[in-house]
Structure formats: C-alpha cells, structure tokens
Amino acid sequence: MATEVVLGTMEGTQLLPWVVGAITLLLTVVTVCSLPSLMNYWWWWRVMKPIPGISPCYPFVGNALLLEREGEGYFEQFEAYRKIIPVQISAPMVGDWTSDKPFPLPCHLCSTGDKWRSRRKMITPTFHFAILNDFLEVMNEQGFILLEKLEKHVDKEPFNIFTDITLCALDIICGELRKLSICHTGLKRVIAEKVAELENTKLTKYNTDMNGEEKSGSKKREAFLDMLLNATDDEGKKLSYKDIREEVDTFMFEGHDTTAAAMNWVLYLLGCNPEAQKKVHQELDDVFGNTEQPVTVDDLKKLRYLECVVKEALRLFPSVPMFARSLREDCSIEGYTLPKGTNVLVLIYVLHRDPEIFPEPEEFRPERFFPENSKGRHPYAYVPFSAGPRNCIGQRFAQMEEKTLLALILRRFWVDCSQKPEELGLSGELILRPNKGIWVQLKRRPKTITE
C-alpha cells in the first residue's frame, strides 16, 4: 500500500512540470494574442482620459456600472448628468453606425456596409412624394375611426390618449399586415398571395394596354408590401422573402411607434399651452372652414403653423432621444481629440436644449421655426430624424401622418392637459415615451359639416 502511494506521488510529481508548462504556454499564447488589443485599448484610454465625464470611470466598463437598468431611472440620470456636464456638439456627424455584434434586426436600419447601401437604395423610392400621396387616403380613413373612439371621452374625466393614438398609427402603417400579429408564417402566405396578385395585375395591365387605355380613376392604391415586392437593386434583383420580412418587422416598429409618440407629445404640449392651441384652431378654420372633409395634400401645405408646432414638439421631445455614429476621421471638440473609430452617442434631447441656439429651451414656442427665425441656424442644431446618409428614411411619411391626424383631431376637439413634466415618467429607451401616459380632457368644438 505504501509502495503504491509512493509511486502515485512520483507520477504526480513527474506530471506537475508538464501541467505547469502547459498552463504557462497557454498564458503566453493568450498574452501574445491579446497584446495588440491591450496596447490599442491602453492608447484609447490615454487619449480619451482627459475628456471630462462622470466619475468613477473604470477600465473596460467605463461608466456602465453607474447607469440604471430601467428606462425611467436611466432617463432621470440622463437629466441630472446633462446639468452637471455641459454638452456641445460642434463637429460634423460623419460615418456609418457600426457595432461589433449585429443588431437583432438585420434590416436596412441596423445593417452596415454594402448591405445597408444596397438596401437603402432599393427602399428609398418607396418614400417618394408621389407614392406617399397614396397613403393619405388610409390616413384619413383611420383618422376618422380614431375620432369616433375619442368621442366617448368628450366632457368626461381625463384619460390616457397615448394608446388610442398608437393603435391608430399602427393601423395606418400595417394595413393588412397588422391582422397577422407579425406572424412570419402568415406573412409568408401573404407575400406569396401578393406575388401572385402582382403577376395577375401585370397580365391584366398588358391586356388593357392591348385593348385600349385604362379607365380613369381605376388606379389601385399600392400597399407598403406591394412596394417592397417591386423594389429592385442595380442588377435588377428583387428582395428575398427573408429581406422583405426584415423590412416589414422594421417598419411595423419604426413606422408607428415613433410617429405615435410625436403626435402624443404635440397634444400634450397644446393641452398645456392654450394660446398656441387657439392659433392652431384658427389656422384649421381658415383652411377647412366648418367642414370635416378628408385632408388633402394641398391642405397639408397650408398648415404652416401646425407644422411649426410639430417641429417644436420634436425639439422638446424627440421620438428617438439619441443616435450613434462611428467617426471616420479624427475629430476635435472643445479642444479634445476624438480619434477615428470612436463610437459617438449624439444626445438629441440635450442637443435641442442648447440655450445659445434655442433661448429659454424648456419653453414651448412654435415661432422658433418660422422661416425668419430659422434662417442661419446650423443644420445639425435640430435633428429629430437624425442626419447624414443614415437619416430617417420615412420622415416624409411621418410628417404627413402627424399633420393629417392632428388636423383631424384638433378640428373637432379642444384638448386640455394639466399634467406636469415631472408627472410624465419620461423613459429614454429606443423611443422617448411617458411611462405614466398622456392624460388629457377633450371638449367638442363648434359642430362642423361632414362632406
């Protein structure tokens, strides 16, 4: 027994150098492989360290350990820190947003490089002015449905209007896709049906062209899905089912949530600022008289004060409160150097509150956006739809929808709101939203005539 123990000990003693050697070799390989990254990180740390910020700031994790995990708590920190650390953006915003890991939605919004450029080029024609005009019909349709839902709240207690506005925006952007509840199996079936329908339409159009001109007024309004199916790249290739699914998912979110938030903020601000609301009502009366006819493109062009109201609401409460960019070249801000490759988070919520550009920035003043008051303003001082090549592809759609629905609502109702800013429960996640809702009271304006 003693002999076995001695032999086992000797064998263990003989293996120990091999184990130590293997561990040493492994550590050496890891160190050599990691050395360039560590040296590069050390260089970044040395260059960025002088830039003023929040303390403490630790290697590798920076300030991450200080930040709240919930959106509302994070935004409260956001508000506190912006008052401690002055923020000024004076450098051009350049470059594509990049990330070490792909975003869960590999669509044009979140993709990078050649895929983003190709997809962006294919989808941009979908948002041409002439095509957007076709959507005005569905905006009016859903807008009138919304009005009937709001009627039950007239002369009643305050209610949270946020959900009603959001559902209306969802109905507009989704059309036939909403009933699928974003079910990809159902979506695949709808895409197949749409492809067959488009082929049948082409055949019908060919026969019509052969037999004579198409009857006037018979043009069919294209849905968003139709436009995606018709989109092609420079080589004439169409989007695959997977590509279309990605874009549908994106616009289901991007096309309704941001727009709904903007309209809610407008109603909140007008409810808190009756003088501005009176001016909006006067403009609506001048354009529409005492009728409740559907809003037209020509009507939208005349609603200049309402447009300024929407712009001012997006200044105070941008639907997307921040966006990111990766610098393509070294950049100097306030005497501090940001090296090429730095990921920069542009805080729109803070940028829009620069008192040198917007005096008394917390005040709601739509007149800031009158042409004479906007003249000479830096183009990047106001960026509610981001800026540069990666700006919001659907901003024209959003502006049309916001003005249309707001015109319909405010033609019929007077909005009151006594909710204080601190009662909103601002949450800065992907979308700037009030966790506690937008609570308003509605009163009916003088009866209008429906045409």
What does the pLDDT look like over 277-301, one tens digit per residue?
999 999 999 999 988 899 999 999 9
pLDDT at 194 (0 to 100): 61
The predicted pLDDT at position 39 comes to 80
Q: Which domains does the chain have, with CATH numbers?
A: 89-181+249-444 (1.10.630.10)
Greatest mean pLDDT range, 9-13, 198-202, 225-229, 388-392:
388-392
DSSP letter (8 states) at residue 104? S
Average pLDDT over residues 128-148: 83
Residue type, 330: D
User: What is d(CA 109, CA 390) in angstroms, rounded to the nearest whole number?
Assistant: 8
Which of the two residues, 230 and 177, has the higher pLDDT score?
Answer: 230
Between the CA atoms of 69, 71, 72 and 75, what dihedral angle is there, to the nearest 10 degrees? 90
For residues 6 and 209, give the distance between their C-alpha atoms in angstroms, rounded to a whole number. 100
Which 3 state secondary structure label does DSSP give 50? coil
Q: What are the angstrom distances between the C-alpha of 272 and each of 92, 267, 278?
A: 36, 9, 12
Q: How many CA atoms lie within 13 A of 225 on its CB side?
A: 22
Give the tokens for residue 305. Answer: 């004060």
- The strand pairing partners of 428, in sequence order, are 432
- Cβ atoms of residues 183 and 174 within 8 Å: no
Q: Which residues of 26-64 are buried (b: 16+ CB within 10 A; e: fewer)?
A: eeeeeeeeeeeeeeeeeeeeeebeeeeeeeebeeeeeee
Residue 413: Cβ-neighbour burial (10 angstroms; 0-12, 13-18, 19+): buried
**Has residue 180 got a pLDDT over 50?**
no
Whether residue 99 has pLDDT greater than 70: no
Q: Of 65-79, 84-98, 116-130, which one has max mean pLDDT?
A: 65-79
Name the strand (E) or helix (H) holding 347.
strand 343-347
**Sheet with 439-444, side-by-side order of all strands:** 159-160, 439-444, 413-416
Does the structure show a pLDDT above 50 at 213?
Answer: no
- pLDDT (0 to 100) of residue 26: 82
Structure confidence at residue 65 (pLDDT):
80
Q: Which class for 122: exposed (0-12), middle (13-18), buried (19 or more C-beta within 10 A)? A: buried
Of 34-48, 98-112, 333-347, 432-446, the range with the lowest mean pLDDT is: 98-112
Q: Are 80 and 73 in contact (CB under 8 A)?
A: no
User: Is residue 168 annotated as involved in ligand binding?
Assistant: no
- Give residue 309's Cα distance to chain centre: 19
C-alpha 197/C-alpha 201 separation (Å) is 6
Specify the higher pLDDT residue, 394 or 146.
Answer: 146
Burial environment of residue 17 by CB neighbours within 10 A (0 to 12, 13 to 18, 19 or more): exposed
| Residue 426, pLDDT above cutoff 80 | yes
Query: How many residues are listed for the chain in this entry?
Result: 451
Q: What's the pTM?
A: 0.77
Does 188 score more than 60 pLDDT? yes
Question: Residues 170-179: what's their mean pLDDT?
Answer: 65
How far apart, in whole angstroms, are the C-alpha atoms of residue 113 and residue 399? 28
Which residues, listed in sequence order, are joined to residue 232 by a DSSP beta bridge?
238
Burial of 159 (0-12, 13-18, 19+ CB in 10 A): middle
Q: What percent of the chain has pLDDT over 70?
A: 68
Q: What is the pLDDT of residue 248?
A: 72
How far apart, in Å, are the Cα atoms of 403 and each of 119, 130, 297, 305, 397?
28, 17, 10, 11, 10
What does the pLDDT average to over 133-141? 86
Q: Are 170 and 178 in contact (CB under 8 A)?
A: yes
> Phi and psi (nearest 5°) for 93?
-90, 110
Q: Is the pLDDT of residue 77 over 60?
A: yes
